[in-house]
Amino acid sequence: MAMVLYEVSEGIATLTLNNPEERNSMTADMVAEIVTAMDAAESDPNVRVVIVTGTAPAFCAGANLGNLAEATRESLLGIYEGFLRVARSPLPTIAAVNGAAVGAGMNLALGCDVRIAAKSAKFDSRFVQLGLHPGGGNTWMQLRIAGMQTAMASVVFGEVLDGEAALRAGLVWKCVDDQALMPTAREFAAKAAAAPKELLVSIKKTVIDIGAVATHTEAVEFELGPQVWSTRQPWFRERLAALQAKISKR
């Protein structure tokens, strides 16, 4: 049985973690299939956006607890690769969180650029409950996404957030009824999927890198090069001409 289902449609690659009997927990085999799927998405000129989700009833229940009991630096890094491979993708990524996202599974969701949650989603760091220090950059991601209070509530006080609570906390962009999750994620992805792949990669890189820029003046200069580059691309000229034609008909 494939641990990760991979499907491409209309510029969107969907990766579905597929080990429901173990609630899609992160194993070495699953990590290997995630890496393979991401390699395929990034090398396919037709793929512009990646959606990550899980086969019901869970999104991803995290690392196998038996493996954690005998963890080493190397074994942890091996499991981390499952979410780090997604997090470092140059493509825009969306987590469609359909159930429990626990530990490494929460990290997988946090590592995506945008999270859309079903109401039944559960964001559960679970570190303090296990007597375990947070790992995989969980605290860093939560701090950047939702701020100090949410990070502390999650990793120190062990708060578990459902979809609506995660929306209020700023961890997710949208929360929808369970049956609307994948249609909503695909509709959300569609605008980006209609854009040129090279442009999306360039914009995502800018959004990531510009966090190190200190002033507005520096930010203007930082964006200037890639913006000028984009004006020289054929897709810009085509879209500009189409917009001008549309305006002239009014």
- Residues in the chain predicted with pLDDT less than 50, given as ranges, are none
Q: What is the pLDDT of residue 64?
A: 74
CATH number, domain at 94? 3.90.226.10
* Domain shared by 15 and 84, yes or no: yes
**Domain total in the chain:** 2
Query: Does an H or E element contain 28, and which?
Result: helix 28-43
Q: Which residues contact 121 (CB under 8 A, 6 or more apart)?
A: 59, 97, 98, 99, 100, 101, 162, 163, 166, 172, 175
Q: Which residues contact 62 (CB under 8 A, 6 or more apart)?
A: 25, 26, 102, 103, 104, 105, 106, 126
Q: What is the pLDDT of residue 1?
A: 85
Q: What is the pLDDT of residue 83?
A: 97
Q: What is the pLDDT of residue 214?
A: 96
Is the distance from CB of 109 to CB of 218 less than 8 angstroms?
no
For 241, the domain range is 197-248
* Domain shared by 131 and 30, yes or no: yes
Rounded Cα distance, 206 and 195, in Å:
16
* Domain shared by 67 and 129, yes or no: yes
Query: What does DSSP assign to residue 171?
Result: S
Q: What is the pLDDT of residue 248?
A: 81
* Domain shared by 182 and 204, yes or no: no
* Domain shared by 217 and 187, yes or no: no
* Domain shared by 155 and 117, yes or no: yes
- Sheet (strand 161-162) strand order: 100-102, 122-124, 161-162
Three-state DSSP at 90 gives: coil
pTM of the entire predicted model: 0.95
